[in-house]
Amino acid sequence: MTENQTLTVRDNRTGEEFEIPITDGTIRAGDLGKIGRTDDDPGLAVYDPGFTNTASTRSAVTYIDGDKGILEYRGYPIEQLAESSTFLEVAYLLIHGELPTREQHDQWVHEITFHTFVHENLKSQLQGFRYDAHPMGMLLSSVGALSTFYPEARAIRDPQVRHDQIVRLIAKMPTLGAWSFRHAQGKPYVYPDNDLSYTENFLSMLFKMSEQKYNPDPRLAKALEVLFILHADHEQNCSTNAVRSVGSSEVDPYSAVSAGIAALYGPLHGGANEAVLKMLKRIGTPDKIPAFIEGVKRGDEKLMGFGHRVYKNFDPRATIIKKAVDDVFEVTGVNPLLEIAQELERIALEDDYFISRKLYPNVDFYSGLIYEALQFPPEMFTVLFAIPRTAGWLAQWLELVDDKEQKIARPKQIYTGDRTLDFVPAAQRWA
């Protein structure tokens, strides 16, 4: 078996044959570069827009089997983590690679809790935004600005410096996210309350008004905790790739993470749950569902919240979120859109169009309903994704920084433009 782990390639341009090793189901692009290489020709390369079939790294952070609907962080199934862990414990697991001892856990939680405040000048920066600024724009620029408050963060080879910035980033994201939310409402920013848990404190900074102490409903805090766990990492997606690509220049982690936030901001990445909500509102009542489904099958539109590039079976995160929906609605009252969502799901899962294309509900099908029940406007949905994903981005960034095989990201291109034109100065061209 092992001796057959090669690929024989015959270059029909020259008749030459090459034997290329196969490791872990991949060949090295550099080995292909030996094919056809001459003094004038750099050799064969791979053309793969969107990196749909190119492994950019080895990683031990997150495992996904899309056909079987499996998602694991550091080997632990997402179902078990969502059921029995906390977001901060999961963040520790992602960053450190193993579960914490009691002492490690307590110290980690203490460190994160006592770094939640941000410099007052950053508050002034946020206050300078227009009244209708999108909270994701505010978040990405304020995370980028953090690098100016901690210039030592540039020492990315120093483990202690790295640790300090990781703690700061995970700790300050809820503060910056909540303040971006309050800004749009013209409400005063609420300072962190270090007596509360990570998600309770976030809820307090979002919703506290004149009361001395904000006491979030534990069921809502728990539901948010589960959503944070589900969104903490998802291997080499667009934003993680952005963090790794920018991080490969050895810039500080604040700048790398702000690149990840920028990537997440895009509607193809972080915005589908908002689209689900709009779709459910447009359908309006269950009797309109059959006509809507027929429209989808005719190709008039998509059933948003269904289908996934990687999952060709149930998205395991969708199954968990469905359970959290019940807990949230117990507190907030049932959103009438839930009935439409459930009926849509029931019909779609019995319909050959969806079955044959392996289209199942994804993470976004139910999460928008929860966010709306928690009184978030749609613009905040992506912020709620960015806060927990920071743990995953940083785990992947740490892996990158320590990976001896990594180099500055610099893809090739196939040049399609003109060559060796003679430049005619403007005065002559315009004469």
CB of residue 237 to ligand CMC, shortest distance in Å = 6
Catalytic residue among 269, 327, 351, 403: 269
CB of residue 267 to ligand CMC, shortest distance in Å = 10
Q: Does 196 bind ligand CMC (CB under 6 A)?
A: no
Q: By CB under 6 A, which span of 128-136, 300-308, 319-327, 387-395 interacts with ligand CMC?
A: 300-308
Q: Among 228, 229, 217, 232, which Cα is nearest to 328's?
A: 217
Strand partners, 424: none
Strand partners, 72: 63, 77
- The count of C-alpha atoms lying within 13 angstroms of the C-alpha of 87, restricted to the half-sphere facing its C-beta, is 31
- Figure out which of the listed residues 362, 382, 390, 396 binds ligand CMC, where binding follows CB under 6 A: 362
Q: Does 308 bind ligand CMC (CB under 6 A)?
A: yes
Q: Does 320 bind ligand CMC (CB under 6 A)?
A: no
Q: Does 374 bind ligand CMC (CB under 6 A)?
A: no
Q: Among 388, 394, 334, which Cα is nearest to 363's?
A: 388
Q: By CB under 6 A, which span of 137-145, 195-203, 204-212, 357-365 interacts with ligand CMC?
A: 357-365
Looking up tokens 């997440």 gives: 264
Q: Does 283 bind ligand CMC (CB under 6 A)?
A: no
CB of residue 297 to ligand CMC, shortest distance in Å = 8
Q: Does 312 bind ligand CMC (CB under 6 A)?
A: no
Q: Is 409 exposed, middle or buried (0-12, 13-18, 19+ CB in 10 A)?
A: middle
Angle at 342 between CA 339 and CA 348, to 5 degrees: 135
- Give the distance, in angstroms, between the CA of residue 194 and the centroid of all CA atoms in the same chain: 27
Query: Which amino acid belongs to residue 325?
Result: V
- Figure out which of the listed residues 355, 357, 402, 412 binds ligand CMC, where binding follows CB under 6 A: 357
CB burial string 318-350: b at 16+ within 10 A, e below: bbbbbebbebbbeebeebebbebbebbbebbee
Q: By CB under 6 A, which span of 175-183, 258-266, 286-294, 362-370 interacts with ligand CMC?
A: 362-370
Rounded Cα gap, residues 357 and 351, in angstroms: 10
Q: By CB under 6 A, which span of 57-65, 67-75, 145-153, 355-363 interacts with ligand CMC?
A: 355-363
Number of residues forming the site for ligand CMC (CB under 6 A): 17
- Figure out which of the listed residues 81, 146, 173, 304 binds ligand CMC, where binding follows CB under 6 A: 304
Q: Does 147 bind ligand CMC (CB under 6 A)?
A: no
Q: Does 366 bind ligand CMC (CB under 6 A)?
A: no
Give the other-Cβ count within 10 Å of 358's Cβ: 13
Rounded Cα gap, residues 30 and 339, in angstroms: 54
| 96 carries an active-site annotation | no
CB of residue 104 to ligand CMC, shortest distance in Å = 30
Q: Does 260 bind ligand CMC (CB under 6 A)?
A: no
DSSP per residue, 225-269:
HHHHHHTS--SS-HHHHHHHHHHTTT--HHHHHHHHHHHHHSTTT
Q: Does 302 bind ligand CMC (CB under 6 A)?
A: yes
| 163 carries an active-site annotation | no
CB of residue 365 to ligand CMC, shortest distance in Å = 7
| 364 carries an active-site annotation | yes
The residues that touch ligand CMC, with contacts defined as CB under 6 A, are: 234, 269, 272, 296, 302-309, 357, 359, 362-364
Active-site residue list: 269, 308, 364
